[in-house]
A and B are shown apart, each in its own frame.
Chain A
């Protein structure tokens, strides 16, 4: 069953004397019930605008939003039953945690007093806030504030849960624990969820499916593996993966290779017409240093990361450097040979950035 559906959703900002800005242009998206979808993209790609339109905090220029099969476009936020955990938490400072959680339940006045107390205790137990129910937001850590914000969104049992950059204000240690918590809670309660983030790691680790957005358009929608293994465009390839994929421009040759420079050629995974300008994408983890065979290269920088390392290599006559995931020990300024793992090369059209298949 489709819990949330976006049809041809558009948002255009118009202001007098300035050109109209198309923030979201024709988004189509469907979420199965209980699914967690990551909306991933750089800042300004329209992902937050999309979230705000779903929540009813932003008007819709065109298209339709359906929750549980019924259109909610044009309905005010109050009537949509959508829970949002805001990026800045937006907790009411004069109220305690318990009061913050109860505040939302009181709005509709259908809950009895004892009922409210029971629900607050229940959700606090779920997200691990029982000890701080009487504290005020100012006295909480960012991780706790995040959980209060999440609990407040969940307590009303929303049809759809929207998480806006839930981990971006946490430090590294809290981020890891909160991420696991988030995944557990979402699985437990089974809410249909959209996670908006610019952090690929967050999206990859939490989402069932990821939609990569750019300039108001979804570039690719798929499982984390699909996004990683077969990116639809060079933008998606570049945005997902750490360290970032190597993108090297070159020209296709008659014998199924791409020429990066006079002396450097790499085999192409698919046949490409001779002379066509392409961009080759190779992930740092699909490259390895070898004693013999492969392409000659020179190590210009190396970052040791305990169990592994990242080496930056210069190829003969190629302008861009090549980043390779290596073992912990690499000798600087040393001549090496680098080998490309077979079948894991991506090739994109130089003009459009689309994957050539």
Chain B
């Protein structure tokens, strides 16, 4: 009897928290469904319409939102892919070998995440202008490494550390090369880790605001900055901003849902004696 009461109370508390957490999103949804002339009405009755979505995805109002969306996809996927190519071997090396300066190197990588992006953005802006990287995909993928690479290296390092080195050593004794031992033994065993870190890195890259704000103008601009363009002009169009923001949540959300089963699966279950 008492336990049921506690259960009920816990449920109620969870529902309260749920409402609290989801309220801003619900507010956005409502906002995006409002017709432009009822935007500032303070009561909750309005005629719902999908006009805002049509406007945003139809590229009217002179703002190429679909383009921004594609840009975001390209630079985020590009940043994650580059980070994996560079970061996986780096993580593996730092997990398996102590070499001179290896710890300093790892700390330097981590320190990229300490400083606010604003501290480096001005020099980067000047550099990008001079080098012709301003407002390009290459430039964006490159600068987003500051966000995604430390994530990949640090998280994957702990996955590789958890992997017993005897697995690769057994492969070496069988005649496989170091490279083959990495690709055929170590890498397949950290797949769940790669899935998890890719998702995380993708979300961080996708959500980044400061770099595209300063380092792009139109052709490589991303949704985070692009969604705000609807606030410019003579009258801020909150309904369009809300619709744009909601559309931009879709890719990370879909990814998170598809990758979920990798996130919870054990790392190398049964590799060594338990």
Residues of A within 8 A of B (CB): 55-57, 76-78, 80, 82-84, 86, 88-94, 103-105, 107-108, 136-139, 142, 145, 152-153, 156, 169
Residues of B within 8 A of A (CB): 164, 166-167, 169-177, 180, 185, 188-189, 268-273
Report if A86-B166 is in contact (Cβ < 8 Å); known contacts: A93-B189, A94-B188: yes
- Give 3 closest A-B pairs by Cβ, nearest first: A138-B270, A104-B174, A90-B166
A55: nearest chain-B partner, CB-CB = B173
Report if A82-B271 is in contact (Cβ < 8 Å); known contacts: A88-B166, A92-B185: no
Q: Is the CB of A136 within 8 A of B167?
A: no
On chain A, the residues within 8 Å of B166 by CB distance are: 86, 88, 90
Report if A156-B271 is in contact (Cβ < 8 Å); known contacts: A86-B166, A90-B167: no
Report if A77-B268 is in contact (Cβ < 8 Å); known contacts: A90-B166, A142-B273, A145-B273: no
Q: Is the CB of A169 within 8 A of B273?
A: yes
Q: Min CB distance, A152 to chain B, in Å?
A: 7
Q: Min CB distance, B160 to chain A, in Å?
A: 15
CB within 8 A of A107: which of B164, B174, B188, B270?
Answer: B174
Q: Is the CB of B271 within 8 A of A91?
A: yes
On chain B, the residues within 8 Å of A90 by CB distance are: 164, 166-167, 169-170, 271-272
A164: nearest chain-B partner, CB-CB = B166
A106: nearest chain-B partner, CB-CB = B174
Report if A86-B176 is in contact (Cβ < 8 Å); known contacts: A93-B268, A93-B270, A137-B270: no
Q: Is the CB of B271 within 8 A of A78?
A: no
A86 to B269 alpha-carbon distance, docked (Å): 18
Q: Is the CB of A93 within 8 A of B173?
A: no
On chain A, the residues within 8 Å of B164 by CB distance are: 88, 90
Q: Is the CB of A107 within 8 A of B271?
A: no
Report if A57-B175 is in contact (Cβ < 8 Å); known contacts: A88-B272, A136-B270: no
A89 to B188 alpha-carbon distance, docked (Å): 18
Q: Min CB distance, B32 to chain A, in Å?
A: 45
On chain A, the residues within 8 Å of B167 by CB distance are: 90, 92
Q: Is the CB of B175 within 8 A of A93?
A: no
Report if A78-B175 is in contact (Cβ < 8 Å); known contacts: A84-B170, A88-B164, A90-B167: yes
**Given A104-B175, A142-B273, A156-B175; 13 other pairs, CB 8 A cutoff:** A57-B169, A77-B172, A83-B173, A86-B166, A88-B164, A89-B272, A89-B273, A94-B188, A103-B174, A104-B171, A104-B173, A104-B174, A138-B270
CB within 8 A of B173: which of A77, A92, A137?
Answer: A77
Report if A84-B173 is in contact (Cβ < 8 Å); known contacts: A92-B185, A107-B180: yes
B191: nearest chain-A partner, CB-CB = A94
A27 to B189 alpha-carbon distance, docked (Å): 38
Q: Min CB distance, A72 to chain B, in Å?
A: 13
On chain A, the residues within 8 Å of B170 by CB distance are: 84, 86, 90, 104, 152
On chain B, the residues within 8 Å of A105 by CB distance are: 174
